[in-house]
Chains A and B, each alone.
Chain A
Amino acid sequence: MSPETNPSHAPRYGSNMGQPLTRRDGLLKVTGRATYAADNHPPGMLYAVTAVSKIARGRVTSLDVAAAKAHSGVVEVMTPANRPPLAHDPDEKMPPFGFRVEVLQNDRVRYVNQPIALVIAQTLEAATEGAMLLDPQYDAQDARVERADGELYDPPAIGVGAPPGAAYGDIDAGLARAAHLVEAEYFTPAQYHNAMEPHAVVAEWDGDRVMLDMPNQALALSCASYAAYFGIPAENVTIRSPFLGGGFGSKAILNGPQILAILAARMLGRPVKLALTRSQMYGPVGHRGATWQTLRIGTDGDGQLTGLHHRAIAATSSFDDFLEPAANASLPLYASPAILVEHKGLRLDTGTPGPMRAPGEASGSAALEVAMDEAAEACGMDPLDFRLKNYAETEPGTGKPFSSKALRACYAEGAKRFGWSRRPLEAGQMRDEKGFLVGWGMGTAVFHCPHFPAEARATLRADGTALVETAGADMGQGAWTALAQIAAEALGLDPQQVELHSGLSTLPDGGIAGGSGHTASAGLALNNASKDAIARLTDLATGNPQSPLFGAGNIGVIARNGRLHRRDDETRSQSYAEILAGAGQPEVVGTAKAARDPSVGAAHALYSHGAVFAEVKIDPDLGQIRTTRLVGAFAAGRIINPRLVRSQYFGGMIWGASFALHEEAVTDRRTGRIMNADLAEYHVPVNADVPSLDAILIPEDDPYINPIGVKGVGEIGITGTVGAIANAVWHATGKRLRRFPIRIEDVIG
């Protein structure tokens, strides 16, 4: 059925934009009553602090356990010597997303900041000092932390199980016939998620059941994984994660310190709290691995691509694989008769990288968008015209149609709002009234649309209100609000009449809050459960001879404003409360499981798109750079809540600015220690760094993506922005900078 003939589609989209409701959790968050994991204090709780390795490779040869234990308040010190057994081998990966973890299985050290002991004490102060007093001694081997030190290898898979490359057309022939060939290498450094909330857990055992307060982006999956580690059934693990202080991918995957704290709670028979220090977050909880990317772009005399070759070397740890799928950024965006993407792995002595906001897309798009700018320059074309010239009408390579793609509108609206048409083609042409160099750059944003299986329950209650439940995660994207809006619409209720329970693992599995897929995944489950509840309610009404809806059949009613109306005569209606009362039932419960129909992805290419325009100002002599203006225009299917979506885009764009100009983990090449493992020297943007942000929400009606028309918005904002800013720096200075972040010395050098 086409969308035009499917009656359920036509009214559904409306203006394409939902209500800009303020956050449902707003009151709790502004009053300090929103409880994050480390805010919990069960009676009798002890504090755990990890001691971490200062070497990148080798062995721990001694720990002064006696000194730590002698410190007043220290209760226990867990080391490889006394660490209780685990039911799962931590050196075995746990599918689907589990990594090998360091949980004191031996004295081996594989990266800096690896946990090497856990000190448990009556107070936080005692546990912290106890960890210091362990004074570890090492047998250190050379740290392999630079590109030249690492072992290059051909990975069987990249990202979370994606194929390591793709080839369409004849790349050699394509590049050989190019009138212009651009070839360059780009470097993106290791970056750390640095959610404002450090990873934390409060663990409390009751027999072989455990209650975990922890920030978690994947509740059901984590319960199963913890259960495997502790040898208990998954239902014996309960995770409460009502609020996450930011996740960005780092709270979707199990890590060693949290497992150890849970183990300590079992060992000691008392609740244990562990919160990582900021510096301890630079190692065991994932990061965005460094990449070295080479791009070759061929264009003909008209500026048409003849070939696009993107090769990425992605750093990972010595003992596990998460390879930033950077080169895949070149697959979905630009039409080219030949595309080749390839990945190599590089083993270094670091913690294992992991998914970090737009994994692959962020670093890959950073390189691709600069390379495209260089190609446009080689062709003497405006960067936007060049991208339009190579606009992909179907997915390059596969030729699949896009489920929807309003990228042209993004380009047009973004350019208009930004004033792009006034941009001089050549670099170094613009100065502001004070004399600052001014540069304008742009980049295309793109992000794929994953969909995770999810379940939900919707209960219509006697008073006509509803309770909807799914074990999702709100890490700031506004899930509590948007998911309630989706359910409310399906239930024919005002959002205020819908209570949402989430963030608790005993609820129906809400899937994973990641990949920008949570609203679509949990939202579809809630939509379906809500419709199931309405269907059941309809059966009660239409089967009740006392009801004005009697005999209408379940196709013959419409749910609206808390009432069911006859489709053939809308004046005949009955409220939900009346229907339930009439049936003598306290409630009616709808349930649903939802997943993506595989045929959707087989038939269509599924992406959100956008265009980002950046202005930078640069001091002509001193080289300091400021992102003075960012305009993004994004098309991401149906928008449930424009207020929250705009905030997501802003957040993504600021991450892009951070990638382009600020963030970099600086590793001592001799020891492998990260010398800026804090928030003073690992720079993320401050308020003054982003004086002007604008996000345009481009209407986009996607009839195929899923029945609620939702794509995803959480990550796309980064993707176009990094390149846009780097291109703006070129436009201001004439310098092509291919190493991120761009620094003062790069500009003045």
Chain B
Amino acid sequence: MNRFDFLRPASVAEAVAAAAEPGSAYLAAGTNLLDLMKIGASRPERLIDISRLPGLDRIEWLADGSVRIGAMVRNADLAYDARLAKAFPSVAEALLSGASAQLRNAATVGGNLMQRTRCAYLQDTASACNRRVPGSGCDALYGENRLHAVLGWSENCIAIHPSDFCVPLVALDAVVEVEGADGRREIVVDDLHRLPGATPEKETALAPGELIVGLRLPAAAAAFSANSRYLKLRERTSYAFAVVSAMAALRIEDGTISEARLALGAIAAKPWRVREAEAALLGVTPSVEAFARAAEIALAEARPSGDNAFKIELARRITVRALTLALEGTPAVMPALPASPFSTDPGASHVA
């Protein structure tokens, strides 16, 4: 990796001021940034170490029942927070299905929100990548792309967002708190990650130098606690990124769905919330047919970006399954293999 200046600001204000300098990057745990620096895919001139900034490592429950999570709270600490896991079980399950125990012990909430795509062409400095070098092209297109995006992609970029955590966050209307040179603002997570369009290098809605300091989950999201699930398909049982994933959450009143939340992971450059599918479930008596209809709606716009048409069908199926599992109810204890199909009951919903 390149040599860089290493700064340890004492406060958020100092950090934000330091980041005004071009070429700066915030360093939290480093599980993503250092990796990219080692392979030369990222070469910041200044690292601003925010991992020890005071006040960012707390989980605070607010009077209205919402929760404010400091950006430096570690993934494992959040996932194992008993109150959080009870109120937002799919968030905990998604966190625990990501990476490894070691990485979850280090990786931060803010870092997870800001993690880059795993696209091999972004990582490979000899390849064209519009995210890494704007205007250079996209070698993933027509390349090895069986796990690339099927929704929201453009000719300029077909990468996917790799986060598990962010999938329930978009579904649950989570909000990030951002500190920048112009002060504090809030961005709903669904607006944080951007689709590539013509400017894939603009990966998030953050302005240069802006720092995520916290994440809020609204109290209303806890209303799904009895019926939510995160489900993730992988090419090995654990310690792998998703092939596709889904978060489903339902509120059931008098046998009908009074509210639904649905988001898909690993199919687009952002965690993919499907509001139309949610709307289609409103007032419906839950059934496999209703869920299949929602899945059709969710994937209606999907088209392969390469050798990945199978992901569309797989995304439909995981949508049905996630909704089915949500209907069955949140497991009383966290499954031994969080989010794994092998921790679930595939039942009789056989469509193969």
Q: Which residues of A contact B (CB under 8 A)?
A: 54-55, 71-72, 125, 128-129, 132, 279, 434-436, 617, 619-624, 626, 661-662, 666-671, 673, 675-676, 680-681, 683, 685-689, 733, 743-745, 748-749
Q: Whole-angstrom distance from the CB of B174 to the nearest CB of chain A?
A: 26
Proximity string of chain B (332-352) to chain A, C-beta cutoff 8 Å, 1 when within and 0 when not: 000001001110111111111
- Select A689's contact among B126, B139, B237, B317, beta carbons within 8 Å: B237
A683 touches B346 (CB 8 A): no
Beta-carbon contact of A435 and B310 below 8 Å: no
Task: Say yes or no: is B233 at the interface (Cβ < 8 Å to chain A).
Answer: yes
Please give the distance in Å from B8's CB to the nearest CB on chain A: 19
Q: Does B55 contact A (CB under 8 A)?
A: no
Whether B241 is near chain A, meaning CB under 8 Å from some CB there, is yes
> Are B239 and A686 neighbours in the complex by a CB distance under 8 Å?
yes
* Residues of chain B contacted by A749 (CB below 8 angstroms): 310
Given A622-B341, A624-B342, A675-B124, A666-B313 contact (CB < 8 Å)? no
Q: B329 → chain A, closest Cβ, in Å?
A: 16
Extra A-B contacts (14), CB below 8 Å, given A72-B3, A435-B345, A622-B341: A54-B124, A71-B3, A434-B346, A435-B348, A620-B352, A621-B350, A622-B346, A623-B352, A624-B233, A624-B342, A662-B235, A670-B139, A744-B235, A745-B146
- Within 8 Å by CB of A662, from B236, B341, B351, lies B236
Chain A residues contacting B236 (CB-CB under 8 Å) are 661-662, 683, 685-686, 688-689
Q: Is residue B2 within 8 Å, beta carbon to beta carbon, of the partner chain?
A: yes
**Interface residue B120 (Cβ < 8 Å from any Cβ of A):** yes
Q: Could you tell me if A129 and B2 are in contact, using CB atoms closer than 8 angstroms? A: yes
B127: chain A residues at CB < 8 Å are 668, 671, 673
- A619–B346 CB distance below 8 A: yes
Closest 8 CB pairs of A and B: A745-B310, A54-B126, A688-B237, A675-B120, A688-B238, A619-B341, A435-B346, A620-B350
Residues of chain B within 8 A (CB-CB) of A680 are: 118, 240-241
User: Smallest CB–CB gap between B129 and chain A, Å?
Assistant: 12
How far is B139's CA from A624's CA once the two chains are assembled, in angstroms? 29
Across the interface, which residues of B come within 8 angstroms of A279, CB to CB? 39
> How far apart are the CA atoms of A440 and B343 in the complex, in Å?
21
Give the residues in chain B near A436, CB-CB below 8 Å.
Answer: 342, 346
Given contacts A683-B236, A689-B237, A749-B310, contact A620 B346 (CB under 8 A): yes
Chain B interface, DSSP helix/strand/loop, else mixed: loop
Q: Which of B220-236 contact A (CB under 8 A)?
A: 233-236
How many of chain B's residues touch chain A, expressed as a range? 35 or more
Q: A498 to B127: give the CA distance in the assembly, Å.
A: 57
Among A72, A745, A748, max chain B CB count under 10 A is at A745
Find chain B residues with CB under 8 A from A676 CB: 120
Verify A626–B237 contact, CB threshold 8 A: yes
Q: Which residue of B lies closest to A131 (CB)?
A: B40
Query: Which residue, of B38, B126, B146, B233, has the highest number of chain A Cβ atoms within 10 A?
Result: B126
> When each residue 103-136 of chain B gets 1 if its CB lies under 8 Å from chain A and 0 otherwise, what string results?
0000000000000001011001011000000000
Chain B 32-63 interface 0/1 with A at a Cβ cutoff of 8 Å (1 = within):
00000011100000000000000000000000
Chain B residues near A72 (CB-CB < 8 A): 3
- B347 lies within 8 A of A435 (CB): yes
Q: Flag if B243 contacts A744 (CB, 8 Å).
A: yes
- Chain A residues with Cβ below 8 Å from B348 are 435
Q: Which of A435, A676, A743 has the most CB of B within 10 A?
A: A435
Chain B, residues 1-45, CB within 8 Å of chain A (1/0): the string is: 111000000000000000000000000000000000011100000
The residues of B that contact A667 with a CB separation of less than 8 Å are 144
- Chain B residues with CB below 8 A from A671, complex form: 126-127, 139
- Candidates B38, B143, B314; contact of A623 at CB < 8 Å: B314
Residues of B within 8 A of A132 (CB): 1-2, 40
Tell me, yes or no, whether B318 is within 8 Å of chain A by CB.
Answer: yes
Q: Is the CB of A624 within 8 A of B234?
A: yes
Expressed in whole angstroms, the Cα–Cα distance for A131 and B341 within the complex equals: 44
Contacts of A619 in B (CB 8 A): 341-342, 346
- B314 near A745 (CB under 8 angstroms)? yes
Q: Is the CB of B345 within 8 A of A666?
A: no
With a cutoff of 8 Å between Cβ atoms, the chain A residues found around residue B243 in the complex are: 744
Contact of B143 (CB < 8 Å), options: A71, A620, A662, A668: A668
Q: Which residue of A lies closest to B126 (CB)?
A: A54
Bound complex: CA of A436 vs CA of B146, how far in Å?
Answer: 25
Q: Which of B233-267 contact A (CB under 8 A)?
A: 233-241, 243
- Give the distance in Å from the alpha carbon of A662 to the alpha carbon of B313 in the complex: 21
**Residues in chain A near residue B38, CB distance under 8 A:** 128
- Given the interface pairs A54-B126, A434-B345, the reply to whether A622 lies near B321 with Cβ below 8 Å is yes
Q: Which of B1, B144, B239, B341 contacts A624 (CB 8 A)?
A: B341
Q: Does B320 contact A (CB under 8 A)?
A: yes
Query: Which residues in B have their C-beta under 8 angstroms from that of A129?
Result: 1-3
- Which chain A positions have C-beta within 8 A of B310? 744-745, 748-749
B101 to A: closest C-beta gap in Å:
11
What chain A residues lie within 8 Å of B235 (beta carbons)? 662, 683, 743-744
Q: List 27 A-B contacts (CB under 8 A).
A: A54-B124, A54-B126, A71-B3, A129-B1, A132-B1, A279-B39, A434-B344, A435-B346, A435-B350, A621-B320, A621-B321, A621-B349, A623-B314, A626-B237, A667-B144, A668-B143, A670-B142, A675-B144, A681-B241, A683-B236, A688-B236, A689-B237, A744-B233, A744-B235, A744-B243, A744-B310, A748-B313
CA distance A638 to B3 in the complex (A): 58
Q: Which chain B residues border A683 with CB–CB below 8 Å? A: 235-236, 240
User: Which residues of chain B have C-beta atoms less than 8 A from A688's C-beta?
Assistant: 236-239, 337
Contact among B1, B238, B321 for A128, CB-based, below 8 A: B1
Q: How far is the CA of A153 from the CA of B161 in the complex (A)?
A: 44
Nearest residue (CB) in B for A73 is: B3
B162 to chain A, nearest CB (A): 10
A460, B309: Cα distance in complex, Å: 70
B317 adjacent to A621 (CB under 8 Å): yes
Query: Of A71, A128, A669, A748, which one neighbours B317 at CB under 8 angstroms?
Result: A748
* Interfacial chain A residues near B1, Cβ < 8 Å: 125, 128-129, 132
Q: Which residues of A contact B126 (CB under 8 A)?
A: 54-55, 671, 673
- The chain A residue sitting closest to B243, CB to CB, is A744
Q: A68 vs B177: C-alpha distance in the bound complex, in angstroms?
A: 42
CB distance from A60 to the nearest CB of B (A): 13
Cβ of B352 and Cβ of A621 under 8 Å apart? yes
CB neighbours of A622 from chain B (8 A)? 233, 314, 317-318, 321, 341, 346
A733 to chain B, nearest CB (A): 8
Known A-B contacts A72-B3, A666-B144; A681 and B120 likewise in contact (beta carbons under 8 Å): yes
Nearest CB in chain A to that of B316: its residue = A621
User: Which residues 300-314 in B have Cβ within 8 Å of A in the complex?
Assistant: 310, 313-314
Instruction: Report yes or no: B342 in contact with A617, Cβ–Cβ below 8 A.
Output: yes
Once bound together, how far apart are the Cα atoms of A620 and B341, in whole Å?
A: 10
Interface centre among B126, B340, B341 (most CB of A within 10 A): B341
Complex Cα distance, B239 from A748, in Å, reads 22
- CB A626 to nearest CB in B, in angstroms, measures 6
B142 closest partner in A (C-beta): A670
Contact yes or no, A668 B346, CB < 8 A:
no
CA distance A673 to B126 in the complex (A): 9
CA distance A669 to B306 in the complex (A): 13
In the bound complex, CA of A581 to CA of B320 (Å): 83
Docked complex Cα distance between A434 and B342 (Å) = 10
**Assembled-state Cα–Cα distance A592/B139 (Å):** 60
A38 to B142, CA, bound (A): 40
* Cα-based distance from A671 to B127 in the complex (angstroms): 9
B314 near A686 with CB under 8 A, answer no
Query: B342 touching A626 by the CB < 8 A rule?
Result: yes
**In the bound complex, CA of A599 to CA of B2 (Å):** 62
A624 to chain B, nearest CB (A): 5
Instruction: List the B residue with the shortest CB-CB distance to A658.
Output: B236
Complex Cα–Cα for A681 and B123 (A): 12
Q: How far is the CA of A434 from the CA of B348 in the complex (A)?
A: 9
A71 to B2, CA, bound (A): 10
**Contact pick for A668, options B144, B233, B350, B352, CB 8 Å:** B144
Give the chain B neighbours of A620 by CB distance below 8 A.
346, 349-352
